[in-house]
Amino acid sequence: MDQHIAETTGYHSAEWHAHGHHKESFVTKYIFSQDHKTIAKQFLITGIFWAFVGGILSSIFRLQLGFPDMSLEWLRPLLGGWITDAGKLDPEFYLALITMHGTIMVFFVLTAGLSGTFANFLIPLQIGARDMASGFLNMLSYWFFFASSVVMLCSFFLKTGPAAGGWVVYPPLSALPQALQGSGGGMTLWLVAMALFIISSLLGGINYITTIINLRTRGMTFARLPLTIWALLLTAVLGVLSFPVLFSAALLLIFDRSFGTSFYLSDIYIGGEALSNLGGSAILFQHLFWFLGHPEVYIVMLPGLGITSEIISTNSRKPIFGYRAMIGALLAIAILSFVVWAHHMFITGMNPFLGSIFMILTLIIAIPSAVKVFNYLATMWQGNIRFTPGMLFSIGLVSFFISGGLTGIFLGNAALDIPLHDTYFVVAHFHLVMASASFFGMLAGVYHWFPKMFGRMMDAKLGYLHFWLTFVGVYLVFFPMHYIGIAGFPRRYYSWTNFDVFNAFTDLNTFVTVAALAVMGAQLIFLFNFFYSIFRGRVAPPNPWRSNTLEWTTPLHPGHGNWPGAIPVVYRWPYDYSKPGAEEDFIPQYIPFSQTIESNLPHENELIALEEEEEGIVIDESSESH
């Protein structure tokens, strides 16, 4: 079979290395690169940087929650004036920590780091394209994200601190510097950073959609697309439709903050003075925010679901169960995600009738989610499962998706949301179903496609250790939070000792903090494995996971343009694993049915005639060569 790859793609030919590519300077190759693979790595490494920043922020506030009496004096060299004279965390800085933790994790890590990495890396490689539709816009997309990162990072160094009104930045709190220090310069930088981020996200999204629609190789119909690509396509569509709404919400907030308008402000008396703003609606912002905010949850989630569909199928050596149902479920989730936003607002004073409508729509979304879970389980059933680190993280994702998804049925029910809203039950819910699941999708993807990214393997044993510590740790962090939430503990509390009703569970909170620090420590194993393997890992075989998709037909270190020879033609869907009659337990997408007579299904034999007809078509690719 390897022989066949060599013939169709010709990547062993020595002459390819000699010509065809003009010499690139360091700057055009590694910094302002237009190669989708390099841009993907830039997104990934920036994403890893932000993940550690976000993780460290959460470690600091978990110390406050788990060890309220501990002296944090030793953090003074890092935090300076944010440690009070008593050696405690400043309560306002605590709010800044949770705000920036949320913002960074949701947007910079799980949107840019996840979609940015895998959409860029996988779309051209898996659909058989030389690069993105526009390499230049793609490069801009990364650099806007970089600029956004720089601005957001700068806000940590302001005297008044970064934004602190929660990652949802509800006005009036976020609009009034007199209400909260972080709502001064920190909030301004937050808004600027988010505006840049949205531009980055739109440039990327438009590119992904265009590329998937227009640049699929011959034979790569939509019904033969790997589920990763389906998921990334719908993610991009969600982003393109919803991020502009966040942009408008942010813009109106900028107007309210800086130009004296009253879109969100009304009837406010603060700091001993009555503001002149009248007629605005604080709820309007929440509607606009969650119109992005809810699809955003799926922007974060869908790539992970796509990645795991691919990895679970490959490593179970079985076709993904119900390929079409999986696409249908993705589509249903994507569409429904636009009509459920107000379930975040059941108790904001919104008309209860509206709450009823959103409750019905919200619970409908549980159905396609359930279908996805059952299909994953059916894929593993009677499989032949190989536990690669990627597979382990995929199994972890499915488990989180089940455990965290089910609590969504509580919160989507408006009547149950009354006691549960804004308690730790919500924190437990979304950290499992959205945050941890997506993180696991991202890690699964990194382990799985690392050999394609860097031509080397990550160490599997360290991967296993990383997985088990993280997986068990995440459950130990977030599962106890359900109990704390049922007991009614509110979110975003600096301390609970002011209330008799919340003055319990100190031991459980300490336990959660210890588990969280352990999870954080386990990520150092990953960090080491990642960077060590880039330089010193074992050289990867061409197709280490014996996978069907096209990226494994490229050379070990694909150049700009991906395939040195012609782009392979696709003849079949990507999930022909363990087909009865076939010698190997996988048949890659570029193998025509005419070569697999022994394993063809009846309707596939009919396609052979079509294949032969198409052989005659010659495509002139010279106009696209790079």
Partner 1 sequence: MFEVAIGLGVILVLVILMLLFRVQSLLNVARGSDKKIESTSNRVNGLLMLLFMIAGIVGFFWYSISEFDSYNLPNASEHGVITDRMFWITTVITGVVFILANVALFYFAFRYQYKDSRKALFYPDNHKLEIVWTVIPAIVLTLLVGYGLKVWTQITDDPPEDAEVVEIMGYQFAWKVRYPGKDGLLGGYDYRLIDPVNEFGVDFTDKASLDDFVPREIHVPKGKPVSLKIRARDVLHSVYLPHLRVKMDAVPGMPTRFWFVPTKSTAEMRQETGNPEFNYELACTEICGRGHFSMRLIMVVDEPEDYEAWYNSQETWLSQNPTYLSKVPENLQELAEAATGINIKN
Q: Is 270 in the site for partner 1 (CB under 8 A)?
A: yes
Are the beta carbons of 512 and 551 closer than 8 angstroms? no
Q: Is 1 in the site for partner 1 (CB under 8 A)?
A: no
Q: Name residues contacting partner 1, limited to 481-510 (CB under 8 A).
A: 483-484, 486-488, 490-496, 498-502, 504-505
> Cβ of residue 68: shortest distance to partner 1, in angstroms?
11
- The region of 149-157, 405-413, 431-439, 514-522 touching partner 1 under the rule CB under 8 A is 405-413
Nearest partner of 293 among 144, 173, 168, 118, judged by Cα: 168
- The region of 121-129, 344-352, 512-520, 609-617 touching partner 1 under the rule CB under 8 A is 344-352
Find all residues with CB under 8 Å of 296, minimum gap 6, and list them. Answer: 106, 111, 242
Say if residue 351 is exposed, middle or buried (CB neighbours under 10 Å; 0-12, 13-18, 19+).
Answer: exposed
Are the beta carbons of 215 and 261 closer than 8 angstroms? no
Are the beta carbons of 323 and 227 closer than 8 angstroms? yes
Q: Whole-angstrom Cα distance, residue 457 to residue 444?
A: 14
Nearest partner of 216 among 130, 127, 123, judged by Cα: 127
Find all residues with CB under 8 Å of 45, minimum gap 6, and list them. Answer: none
Q: Name residues contacting partner 1, limited to 284-323 (CB under 8 A).
A: 316-323
Q: Whole-angstrom Cα distance, residue 90 to residue 82?
A: 5
Q: Report the residue number, 595 or 599, with the smaller CB distance to partner 1.
A: 599
- The region of 38-46, 55-63, 121-129, 353-361 touching partner 1 under the rule CB under 8 A is 353-361
Find all residues with CB under 8 Å of 521, minimum gap 6, and list them. Answer: 469
Q: Report the residue number, 108 or 575, with the smaller CB distance to partner 1.
A: 575
- The region of 15-23, 32-40, 248-256, 404-412 touching partner 1 under the rule CB under 8 A is 404-412
Number of residues that bind partner 1 (CB under 8 A): 119
Q: Which of 49, 464, 510, 604 binds partner 1 (CB under 8 A)?
A: 464
Q: How is residue 279 written in tokens?
A: 């007629």
Q: Quick check: bond before 172 cis, omega within 30?
A: yes
Q: Which of 296, 310, 459, 551 binds partner 1 (CB under 8 A)?
A: 459
> Cβ of residue 507: shortest distance to partner 1, in angstroms?
10
Q: Which of 19, 22, 461, 603 binds partner 1 (CB under 8 A)?
A: 461
Q: Is 173 in the site for partner 1 (CB under 8 A)?
A: yes
Find all residues with CB under 8 Å of 199, minimum gap 6, and list them. Answer: 144
Q: Is 266 in the site for partner 1 (CB under 8 A)?
A: yes
Q: Whole-angstrom Cα distance, residue 418 to residue 104?
A: 29
Q: Whole-angstrom Cα distance, residue 527 to residue 391?
A: 19
- The region of 69-77, 341-349, 548-556, 562-570 touching partner 1 under the rule CB under 8 A is 341-349
Q: Is 429 in the site for partner 1 (CB under 8 A)?
A: no
Q: Report the residue number, 240 or 366, with the smaller CB distance to partner 1.
A: 366
Nearest partner of 249 among 308, 215, 204, 296, judged by Cα: 296
> Cβ of residue 103: shortest distance to partner 1, in angstroms?
14
Helix (H, G, I), strand (E, B) or coil at 155: helix
> Cβ of residue 194: shortest distance to partner 1, in angstroms?
18
Strand-pairing partners, residue 378, are none
Q: Is 49 in the site for partner 1 (CB under 8 A)?
A: no
Q: Which of 137, 378, 514, 534 binds partner 1 (CB under 8 A)?
A: 378
Q: Whole-angstrom Cα distance, residue 398 to residue 376?
A: 8
Q: Report the residue number, 87 or 91, with the smaller CB distance to partner 1.
A: 91
Q: Which of 70, 147, 331, 385 binds partner 1 (CB under 8 A)?
A: 385
Q: Which of 63, 241, 251, 364 binds partner 1 (CB under 8 A)?
A: 364
Q: Which of 6, 339, 460, 556 binds partner 1 (CB under 8 A)?
A: 460
